[in-house]
Chain A
């Protein structure tokens, strides 16, 4: 069957920079749905994406996202999306600043900037596409790569990964949530809440890289990955004593042969200053 691509449309077409498409991402990647969730969330806020919002990204697969949407945007150097965002926010406080980047960019080379942003509480939204791998450079271990998982730089085993929710809570972020890319129905609403938070909002967006990470680590295809995300996700139960926030209760668990075995999801902190 012949497909006439010129006639295919997208209901968010006017929010996408069509001249930059097709994007660079592999088939099966979570980034397409993540970006769509972000754009839907931004639209839900009722703000003007071009005049009131700035999307800043770092380096890596996720870093390219800022070029594909009609936000004002900037593609910074590796790990520096957050300091750039701090400059934008202090330059013009009327702008809504969104940092959209990956786990390697935000928590390895940019880790120091993240904890200081959370401490400093300049109003910004930080969304981390957390796929536990450096995809663009070919599959090296990232700071959220799981123990005993295989990457090109961890053949036998890896050291303990960061629990990003625990890290964000500890550093003092005002809004902390975790969902997976398979939760695209609820995500726009969560992203809207994050953007509307007055302070630092952080979303740990568990995502998949079937092409490079999944095939070596228990989720070889995109459809298996989506099912795996939904099956492993456990909504947190808020306890009065706050024990649901303990590190062991927010930790993501993973098995090299099966993929994710437990993903605690939900909004862990919602703070109004």
Chain B
């Protein structure tokens, strides 16, 4: 078969899942490990057509389950190769064990979770946004994983590239939370030429790298010593010192876990920032993300025609939650949270604003139609 280029530069008409796969390949993906699960499967099916046929071929492995997928992803990353996996609801639950291991061993990897309705097998072919809290608290122990949420096919591409960069720069797993709507929705997206978008590679020990023009401190993000390189490379899921060896003392554990939090928070300003739509004069602000924001966007345009001053704060990075930015940009405004979940996005929003907010909970496997949002906005605005 003819060798394929990494960057399929140009304009495409395709689905969010294809854009995710192309974004990963653009960012330098080498190893993909996955298990079939709706609605994430088409990422894997596209990868298998591309990854082994690149000029520098990568490797695709269909694993026996999601636990194996995430663990093999970690293994691949320790050979200094970029690795990813993708899954949905039940698979995300199975992966929580490996996610903890990736955090503890500071392994760069990207996990794309294409959200569907739950709990359990739930609604395999319908969208949901019920894995927001799981992305934060799913595995046991304290940790923070940068979590991005695209709302369009273009952003499925862009944020996957960003996810790889953040993972490499900060030595951490990074989540991309897509959903069933985006997974099958087809629209135009553009893949830039190779070199047009920044692609970051993790530091070797003693090396300093820059990401978005910012130097990454080696004290916070130590260079990674990988398998087959000069020094002995070792790590463990147990508490460990800088060399990776087991050390269960309180001092070492505190130093390790503090640094893992600090590195994400210190560079949070480099993660994708929230998009603010018609916020300047807005009296009511809709806070939302993902495909739900598409409906909110339509609703805002409808009610604006009727003279209601409504804007949107669309989250692109969900974790760590942009508390300060949200607080500053919504001072004195009414807040309406819209989500395809019973009560998840409201938690970080209310915690950030220290007040109760209006809420549209829409957890039945459909995106809330604009009419539902316009009705609620009119109620709040008294029209």
Contacts and interface: CB of A to CB of B under 8 A. Distances in A.
Interface of A: 17, 19-20, 50-52, 54, 56, 64, 66-67, 70-77, 80, 82-88, 90-92, 94-95, 112-113, 116
A72 B83 CA distance: 19
Among B30, B71, B77, residue most surrounded by chain A Cβ atoms (within 10 Å): B71
Q: Which 7 A-B pairs have the closest CB atoms?
A: A87-B75, A91-B79, A87-B72, A75-B236, A91-B76, A83-B68, A92-B79
B78 A74 contact: yes
A91 B30 contact: yes
A196 B49 CA distance: 32
A67 B67 contact: no
Interface residues of B, number: 42
A67 B61 contact: no
Given A83-B63, A83-B68, A83-B72, A91 B78 contact: yes
Contacts of A17: 232, 245
Contacts of A76: 71, 74, 101, 237
B201 to A, nearest CB: 15
Interface in B160-204: none
Contacts of A90: 31, 59, 61, 72, 76
Contact of B97 (A54, A64, A77, A94): A77
30 contacts: A50-B232, A56-B75, A70-B232, A72-B232, A73-B234, A74-B75, A75-B235, A75-B237, A76-B101, A76-B237, A80-B98, A80-B101, A84-B71, A84-B72, A84-B74, A86-B68, A87-B73, A87-B74, A87-B75, A87-B76, A87-B78, A87-B83, A88-B76, A90-B59, A90-B76, A91-B77, A92-B79, A95-B228, A112-B68, A113-B64
Interface in B80-126: 80-81, 83, 97-98, 100-101, 105
B227 interface: yes
A80 B67 contact: yes
B232 A80 contact: no
A70 B238 CA distance: 18
B361 interface: no
Contacts of B228: 51-52, 54, 72, 92, 94-95
Among B65, B83, B100, B236, residue most surrounded by chain A Cβ atoms (within 10 Å): B236
B33 A87 contact: yes
A86 B246 contact: no
Contact of B68 (A71, A72, A92, A113): A113
The majority secondary structure among interface residues of chain B is mixed
A94 to B, nearest CB: 7
Nearest to B236: A75
A71 B64 CA distance: 28
Contacts, number: 128
Contact of B71 (A51, A54, A83): A83
A74 B235 contact: yes
A77 B94 CA distance: 13
Contacts of A52: 228
B81 A92 contact: yes
B155 to A, nearest CB: 28
A66 B227 CA distance: 13
A77 B81 contact: no
Contacts of A20: 245-246
A72 B236 contact: no
Contacts of B67: 80, 83
Contacts of A66: 234
Contacts of A85: 75
Contacts of A80: 67-68, 71, 97-98, 101
Contact of A77 (B61, B98, B234): B98
B238 A75 contact: yes
A112 B68 CA distance: 10
A56 to B, nearest CB: 8
Nearest to B241: A19
A72 B75 CA distance: 12
Interface in B45-72: 59, 61, 63-65, 67-69, 71-72
Given A91-B59, A95-B228, A67 B71 contact: no
Contacts of A56: 75
B229 interface: yes
